[in-house]
């Protein structure tokens, strides 16, 4: 008998997705993404354009300058009445010190709330959260009076000093930062602490040698946000800093556009562009820590 071979049934043809179906499923997402990108980049492009143009009025300057120039940057560094270099250095010092100590203070508070059980723990957590409901500038009058009185007793941290301004910024170091770091500490198993204590480690050794290295991602986020927030802060700095040599970037650059008829948007944009460079560099440096997932890897090991 000859073998009878049955032919396989033909495969069904794949249906081609119509443009309407693709748009309903994916296309509208692309449009939303491009609109969001354009909305985010448009102010940046305008600032860059204003920094490299001769037109002092930002409203009439084009997105792409026809004759790019560095005159605005020369104005920043050649004006003795507005020492931009001093403002830049002052801001970097205050922002760096505030970011480092904010991370340390918030991490210490978060470790206590995460690892210890004591009376008033829940009340303390709720108090930190409630305090954040009120903006810091609501207490500006009280802060100003306190700094004046402190300056009479100990001038190095009084009014019109960078150290005093830094201490004021550190007054809000906890709050949301402590909550954020505490939530990360809670994900680190307690068994790690107990194993270290069995080997003779103290609470300080556990905190510095185990917990903080595992929490580098969240510490990087808190430090970055504190650094950016300090650079952008204007209200408190404008009230506590008075002499031109001790001003920060936000306070000093505001002088270029403070007067009603002054049109110095070019130097203002150039100064803002230079102020963004440390933020971009810090973000690129900390990005590998933010996305590293160090905690997951350490627990698996």
Domains, the chain, ordered by start: 25-69 (no CATH), 83-300 (1.10.3720.10)
pLDDT band at 126 (very low <50, low <70, confident <90, very high): confident
Taking phi first (over 0 means left), then psi (-120 to 50 degrees means alpha), and beta for anything else, what does residue 175 get? Answer: left
**What does pTM read for this prediction?**
0.82
Average pLDDT on 271-298 reads: 75
How confident is the model at residue 61, as a pLDDT? Answer: 60
Share of the chain above pLDDT 70, in %: 85
Alpha helix positions (H), the chain: 19-22, 28-51, 71-78, 84-115, 121-131, 140-153, 162-170, 176-186, 190-198, 203-206, 212-214, 216-232, 235-240, 249-254, 265-290, 294-300
pLDDT, tens digit (0-9, with 9 covering 90-100), for 190-246: 888 888 888 888 888 989 998 998 888 889 989 998 999 999 999 999 999 988 889
CA torsion sign, 55 to 60 to 62 to 66? Answer: negative
């Amino acid at each position: 008998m000859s073998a009878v071979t049955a032919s396989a049934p033909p495969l069904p043809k794949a249906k081609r997705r119509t443009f309407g179906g693709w748009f309903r499923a994916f296309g509208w997402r692309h449009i939303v993404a491009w609109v969001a990108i354009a909305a985010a980049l448009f102010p940046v492009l305008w600032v860059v354009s204003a920094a490299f143009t001769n037109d002092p009025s930002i409203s009439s300057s084009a997105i792409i300058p026809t004759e790019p120039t560095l005159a605005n940057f020369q104005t920043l560094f050649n004006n003795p009445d507005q020492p931009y270099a001093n403002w830049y250095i002052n801001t970097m010092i205050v922002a760096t010190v505030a970011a480092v100590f904010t991370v340390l203070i918030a991490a210490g508070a978060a470790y206590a709330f995460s690892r210890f059980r004591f009376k008033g723990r829940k009340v303390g957590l709720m108090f930190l959260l409630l305090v954040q409901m009120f903006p810091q500038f609501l207490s500006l009058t009280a802060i100003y009076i306190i700094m004046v009185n402190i300056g009479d007793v100990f001038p190095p941290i009084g009014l019109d000093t960078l150290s005093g301004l830094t201490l004021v910024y550190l007054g809000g170091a906890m709050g949301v930062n402590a909550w954020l770091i505490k939530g990360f500490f809670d994900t680190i198993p307690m068994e790690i602490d107990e194993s270290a204590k069995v080997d003779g480690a103290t609470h300080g050794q556990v905190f510095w040698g185990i917990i903080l290295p595992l929490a580098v991602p969240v510490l990087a986020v808190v430090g970055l946000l504190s650094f950016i927030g300090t650079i952008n802060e204007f209200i408190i700095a404008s009230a506590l800093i008075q002499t031109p040599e001790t001003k920060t970037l936000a306070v000093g650059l505001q002088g270029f556009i403070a007067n009603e008829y002054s049109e110095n948007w070019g130097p203002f944009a150039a100064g803002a562009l230079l102020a963004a460079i440390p933020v971009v560099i810090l973000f690129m440096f900390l990005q590998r820590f933010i996305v590293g997932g160090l905690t997951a890897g350490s627990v698996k090991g």
